[in-house]
Amino acid sequence: MQRQRIVITGIGGLCSLGVSAPEIWDSMRAGRPGIGAITTAPLHELKVRIGAEIKNLPENTLDHKRTVTMDRFSLLAALAAGEAIRNARLTVDEANTTRIGAVVGTGIYGAMTAEENYRAVLLEGKPRAAIFTVPKIMPGAPAGQVSMVYGLRGPVFGVTSACASSNHAFASAADQLRLGRADVMIAGGTDAPLVYGVLKGWEALRALARETCRPFSADRDGLVIGEGAGMAVLETWEHAMARGAPILAEFAGAGMSGDATDIVAPTVEGPASAMRACLADAGLAPEEIDYINAHGTGTKANDQIETAAIRRVFGAHADRLSVSSTKSMHAHCMGASGSLEMIACVMAIREGVVPPTANYRERDADCDLDVTPNVAKARSVRTAISNGFAFGGTNAVVAFRAM
C-alpha cells in the first residue's frame, strides 16, 4: 500500500533575521547575519556577550490574560504558529478542531521565567515564586499554549532533544498524520535561551565564539546562541487538496538515530545513520539530494565530523551537493534551529536559491564540501535535507521535496 504523502501548506517564524518567514528568508538569501551584542538581557559578568536576539517582537492580538501565563519561548511559538496558520489559509472551527494538533520542540525550558524567579527568591529575598512559574517553565508549555491560542484539540505534546528537537517534532507530527490521529498538525520548535544562567552554562563548556559564528571556516572558534521559533502546517496531501490549500513542499521523510557514546562529543556514524534512515524513509537515493542545510554549529569538532558523515553517506555525490549552515546568520537557536532551517529548505526549493554560509574566511581541509561561502547560489533544488545533531547523541534528519 502506498504511504500517505505529507505536505507543508504554511510556514511561520521569527528570530534575529526577521519577525516573519519572508523576512527571515530575505536575510538568509542576502547572507545577512543577525548576530551582535546582546542588549535586551542583563548579562552581569559574562565574558561572551554576543548572541542573536529578536530586538522587537511583532504586533499581535494575543489575549493579555493568555500572554501573562507564557514564558518568552511559548510566546515565540504562538506567534510563529499564527503566521503559519494564516499562510496555510487554515480555519479552525468546531467541525475540525479535534483533527488538528500541535507538536513543538524545545531544547531547554522556560529559561527567562526560571531566571527571574531564582533571582527574586535567592537574591532579592522574596518569600515565594510567581504563581505561574511551573506552567511557564515546563518544556511542554509551548505546545499547550499553541493549542489553547488557536483552539487545537487534536494530538498536542512537546518534544525535547536539545538541538534536534525541531526535527523530532516534524517527524512526530508526520507520524500522527500517517497514523490517522489527525488531518493537520502544527509542528516546529522554539527557544529563548538568551539569559544569564543559560549563557553562563555554555560559557563553562568553552564552546562559545568570541566574535561571530563561522561554520566550516578554518578560523572558526565556536557557536553563538540565538533565540527564535519556527512552525510549519503539515497535513495529508488529500486533506490539503480537498480544501484547496497552498502547497509549499512535501515533507518527504525523516531519519533518527542515537550515538550511544558520549553526552557531548558527536560520532561520525550516528549522524550518518540518521541521514541514511532519512533517505530510506523518503524513498530517495543519495544522488537525488541537491541541498543539505547542515547542522554546522561552528565548533571545530562538529563541523569536521559532519563533513565526514556527509561524505560517508553520499560518497562521490558529496562533491556535487550544495551545503550551507544558516546558523552563521541566525546562530544556534537550540530547539528552534531545525525549524528555522526548515524555512531555509522550503524556500530554497521554491526559489531555486541556496542560502550561504556567512562569515566564511578560510578553507579547512577537513571541511572540504561546497559550503556555499558568503554568497547565495542559484541552483535548481528539488530535494533538500536538514541535519539536526544534539548533545546526548540524539540525531534527527528531515527531507523536503518539491511538489
The catalytic residue positions are: 163, 295, 332
Residue 367, all three cell numbers: 571541511
Cell numbers 517553565 correspond to 137
Q: Where are the beta strands (DSSP E) in 68-209?
A: 100-105, 156-159, 184-191
Q: Annotate 43-62 with b (16+ C-beta within 10 A) or e (fewer).
A: beebebebbbbbeeeeeeee
User: What is the spatial distance between Cα 136 and Cα 14, in angstroms, rounded to a whole number?
Assistant: 20
User: What is the spatial distance between Cα 290 and Cα 318, in angstroms, rounded to a whole number?
Assistant: 10
User: What is the spatial distance between Cα 310 and Cα 321, in angstroms, rounded to a whole number?
Assistant: 10
Residue 228, all three cell numbers: 527564535
- Coil, helix or strand for 57? coil
Give ∠ CA 209-210-212 in degrees, rounded to 5.
65
Residue 18, all three cell numbers: 526577521
